[in-house]
Structure 1
Amino acid sequence: MEINYERKVDHCEVSPYIKNVTIASIKHAENSDNLDSVSFHEMGWNCLVRRDSFKEGDVVLFIPPESVLPFELSEKLGVTQYLSKGKVRVTRLRSNRSEGLVVDKSIVESYIPFILKWEDLPSIIMGGKCLSQNEVNPYFEKFYKIPNILNEPFTFEVGERLFYSCKIHGTNARCGYLLHPHKGDYEFYVGTHNTIRKESENDLWWKVLDKFKGKLPKDVIYYGEIFGEGIQHLHYDRKEPDILFFNSATSGNYRTVEELLLDCLKYNLPCINFHEIEFEDLEQIRQLADLPSEYTKSHHREGIVLVSKDRPNVMAKCISMQYLLTKNRSERH
């Protein structure tokens, strides 16, 4: 089978969210005699389909937004012109928002292993050198890839206390004092999401995180987002790279938001703003994700990140629909 993509996808992984779902509700789309809007039991997305094509309880194959289709598949489905270089977009049609694709399983099934989950790349050139894994404490772990709550809508229980914060569109960073696996001494480690950086004055991550060297407690990893002009296409009115810490971990477990906040006060660390809520439903989360950004008036909020108050290992994100509707206009490929 020949597989080609219309964009660079070397950094993307196979999407785990191409799945059969059950139609929960159907309603006529606004301002259209030919379209219905459907929702699903297993996922939180809404999708436009041809009028009277389905009924409640039907099981269909669904492809969520931010999925990247092989060109051969998009051609067979007849949707190439509606995608952004192969990427499924959130679109608006006659005042109706369509979030994903309901597709013919007989056409798509053999292509499922080749449908990818899109991840934005930072615009910066990384450069610099990396440490090998045998030079690094095994607990200096990369941060969890947080799922979109619309892909996993049962992440939280109704009534559960959560903290939410603005999702910052930048590049992931981590740092911490941990025992060297061979020397037996504590060393200050700095990393991206996937790599551990060798100390260098020209390395972006060291430039931003070096000022915390000598200030942090031992055996705790701090995770933050570096953002500002030149990092991603959102600049947040920062001319120089900035960082906000959003999580921490020790011995392979994420710590509570309260523990992070105490550390940020004690060690003078810049921290993301957290807000406490009680989880109600997905509509509540969608509305919070679409609020204005707390960090700039120049562009919209990218979304929010949610963390359980009492189960700090349980997290989700929700991307702003307003952001998804507009970001394709300036998206880098």
Structure 2
Amino acid sequence: MKRKLASIQTVLAIEAIANADAIELARIQGWQCVVKKGEFAVGDVGVFFEIDAVPPDEMRFHFLWRPKDGTPIARPASFRLRTLRLRGVLSQGLLLPLRQFPELPAALLPGDDVTESLRIGKWEPQIPMNDEVDGTFLPGVPKTDEMRVQSLPEVIAELTGRPYVITVKCDGTSATYGINRHTGAFTVCGRNWSLKRGNNAYWHAAEKYQIETSLARHPEMIVQAELVGPGIQKNRLGLQGIQLAAFNVYDQKNDRYLAHDEAGEFLRSIGVPMVDVLERGECFAHDQASLLSLAEGFYDGTQNEREGIVIRPQTESISQVLGGRLSFKAISNRFLLKGGD
């Protein structure tokens, strides 16, 4: 499911903030964000912008990056909505009154996506490597992107009572390896594009784990992994060299993801490490609060906050809420508050 960076949402609750006269807390979906006191009441509808949203450089958004002295400046190139702590409470995203967006149709309903209508961009981390784009992503292969549990909290009910597995989300960059079904060529991709063979971490990892040789024997299989190590993000795992932590194996011949255990067996057979399992059980009973709590912690052997967790059924399943694969993530709020991406 495509992430709704800007959408029409209903205020579910308004809560006071201690020692704050001008602001209060609004709850939207599974998110909470600080708003001006009295600007919203329970049941009101507004435009909600999720974290990582990049608003256009328009006057109505200038207050987000204007210096305290009020000097008007252009939107900084690195600006995005981030997780903040204001007056001791967590604020994630931005809620603005619908009246500020007269260009939107009057017939919009809660949940409607207005990302494109309002020209909202998505912030993407820039990996400081000399990667050269070779072409498009592997044809027919899904790109890697999990929905945050706060965006669609109702997805939790779809997994409740079922066998599940929760894995650690590594803080790196997405890498996809496979044989192009049209050309027969071994292809290495970043998040959105294939990359030329060369002196970069994506291809170094392919060579380190001999993925090209392995997939030549299994041309139907696509390996998707987090690429981690020195020079990638802030190397929060504290690694000495480039590594992979695989989280998906996709069978492009049969158009399906392998189940967790099936994927693990295949990855062991080709010598590619899998992401660590944090929790596994036969009856999923978490709620949003417990998942966000479980997401917090340190990467093994470090004092660095881990990015979060990924939650899935042990056997692949389709989600009616997500409109696709039943798989979602919970990102650690401690990680976000400490500058995580």
TM-score range, shorter chain: 0.7 to 0.9
Structure-to-structure mapping, 1:78-97, within 5 angstroms: 78-81=63-66, 85-97=78-90
User: Which letter does structure 2 place at the counterpart of 1:258?
Assistant: D
Give yes or no for contact 2:131–2:200 (8 Å, CA) kept in 1.
Answer: yes
Q: Show CA shifts across 1:14-68 (max 9, x none).
A: 963311211222221133244322212xx21111223343322222221121111
Q: Secondary structure at the match of 2:80?
A: coil
Matches for 1:258-273 after TM superposition, within 5 Å: 258-273=261-276
Distance 1:47 1:69 in 2: 17
Report the CA distance between 1:71 and its aligned residue.
2.5
- Residue 47 of structure 2 aligns to a residue whose secondary structure is strand
Cα separation, partners in 2 of 1:178 and 1:21, compared to 1, 3 Å: closer
- Residue 317 in 1 paired to residue 329 in 2? yes
Q: In structure 2, which of residues 248, 254, 258 is the aligned counterpart of residue 255 of structure 1?
A: 258
CA 1:195/1:70 → structure 2, altered by over 3 Å: closer, same or farther?
closer
Give the deviation of 1:245 after TM superposition.
0.9
Structure 1 221/326 Cα, relative in aligned 2: closer, same or farther at 3 Å?
same
Does the 8 Å CA contact 1:21/1:60 hold for their aligned counterparts?
A: yes
- For residues 185-220 of structure 1, the C-alpha deviation after alignment (integer angstroms, 9 at most, x for no partner) is x654333232334444x2432221122333345111
Tell me the secondary structure at the aligned position of residue 224 of structure 1: strand
Distance of aligned partners of 1:116 and 1:162 in 2 relative to their CA distance in 1, 3 Å threshold: farther
Specify whether residues 203 and 37 from structure 1 end up closer, same or farther in structure 2 by C-alpha distance, changes over 3 A only.
Answer: closer
Map of 2:280 onto structure 1: 276
Q: Does the alignment pair 1:47 with 2:5?
A: no
Choose from 191, 194, 219 the match for 1:193: 191
CA contact (8 A) 1:24 1:56 kept: yes
Contact 1:142–1:193 (CA<8 Å) still a contact in 2? no
Cα distance, 1:55–1:299 mapped onto 2, change above 3 Å? same
Structure 2 counterpart of 1:303, from 295, 299, 308: 308
Deviations 1:63-108 (A, max 9, x none): 12111112224545x3324897531121112211111111122324
Instruction: Quote the sequence identity (%).
Output: 22
What residue ranges of structure 2 are gaps of 5+ in the alignment?
68-74, 104-115, 318-324
Amino acid at match of 2:310: V
> 1:115-161 CA deviation, whole Å, 9 max, x = no partner?
1121212121203x62678xx7x44x252322222122223323343
2:12 to 24, 27, 31: 24
Report the TM-score when normalising by structure 2: 0.78
**Cα separation, 2, equivalents of 1:15 and 1:315:** 14
Partner of 1:292: 298
| Contact kept in structure 2, 1:234 and 1:299, CA below 8 Å | no
RMSD of aligned alpha carbons: 2.8
Contact 1:159–1:280 under 8 Å retained in 2: no
What's the counterpart of residue 175 of structure 2?
A: 173
Structure 1 unaligned blocks of 5 or more: 1-13
Q: What secondary structure does 1:113 align onto?
A: coil
Cross-structure match for 1:161? 163
For 2:6, the aligned partner's letter is I
SS at match of 2:155: coil
**TM-fit CA distance, 1:221:** 0.8
Cα deviations by residue, 1:261-280 (Å, 9 ceiling, x for unpaired): 11233333211112325143
Moved more, 207-216 or 217-226: 207-216
Paired residues of 1:74 and 1:86 also in contact (CA < 8 A):
no
In structure 2, relative to structure 1, the CA distance for the partners of 1:145 and 1:241 (3 Å cut) is same
Instruction: Check 1:119–1:51 CA distance in 2 against 1; reply closer, same or farther (3 A cut).
Output: same
- In the alignment, is the contact (CA less than 8 A) between 2:55 and 2:61 conserved in 1? no
User: Which residue number corresponds to residue 56 of structure 2?
Assistant: 70
Aligned counterpart, 1:99: 92
Range moving further from structure 2, 318-327 or 214-223: 214-223
3-state secondary structure, aligned to 1:322 = helix
